Amino acid sequence: MALRLSLSPPPIRSSASPSWAAPHSIAISCSSSSSVGVSVPTQEKRRARVVVRSSSIDTAEAVVGQVTEVNKDTFWPIVKAAGDKAVVLDMYTQWCGPCKVMAPKFQELSGKYLDVVFLKLDCNQDNKTLAKELGIRVVPTFKILKDSKIVKEVTGAKLDDLVVAIETVRSS
């Protein structure tokens, strides 16, 4: 079974329509094995790719150019799916003031470094085991992984240090 879905942006009141205003098609296919695939035209792939199988988390991917929220169940599958790309993880809590200050800056970085996967992990009770496994001591903590291994760490709300760490890992 296949379904084609067309998405169109809201009407624009300008005489010049930007390129993103054109309708986009997304193909959704279902197989007998309960898997669902979503494919997006080539020019849109930079912004979206989703694959879901059954109700379990067999495959997980982050969206390039955005920060993806992860938890104890989705973190490692996404890191492994990133392959040799650098992965930057923002480990935060809801009550942390410096974490709230860094959140929009972290989002901006995800739009700047399109060859890097940006993730965030709420270090709450549900994710406590993963936070301990990753060695968190303070929030915010930023872990940078390459090939599923932690290669850099930045603690505290230090944007400049984080940028230097990302640049270092990208160039290695």
- Specify the CATH class of 62-172 in words: alpha beta
Is the Cα torsion angle 148, 152, 158, 162 positive or negative in sign?
negative
Low-confidence ranges of the chain (pLDDT < 50): 1-58
Q: Give residue limits of the domains in the chain.
A: 1-59, 62-172
30 catalytic? Reply is no
Residue found under tokens 């969206």: 63
- Give the whole-angstrom CA distance, residue 163 versus residue 148: 20
Phi, psi of 96 (to 5 degrees): -85, 115
- Kindly report, residue by residue over 78-103, the tens digit of the pLDDT: 999 999 999 999 999 999 999 999 99
pTM: predicted TM-score of the whole model, two decimal places: 0.68
- Kindly report, residue by residue over 36-47, the tens digit of the pLDDT: 444 444 444 444
96 catalytic? Reply is yes
Find the catalytic residue in 67, 89, 91, 99.
99
pLDDT at 41: 45
Find the catalytic residue in 48, 57, 81, 96.
96
Counting other chains too, the contacts that 128-136 makes at CB distance below 8 Å and 24 or more residues apart are 129/72, 130/71, 130/72, 130/75, 131/91, 134/89, 134/91, 136/91
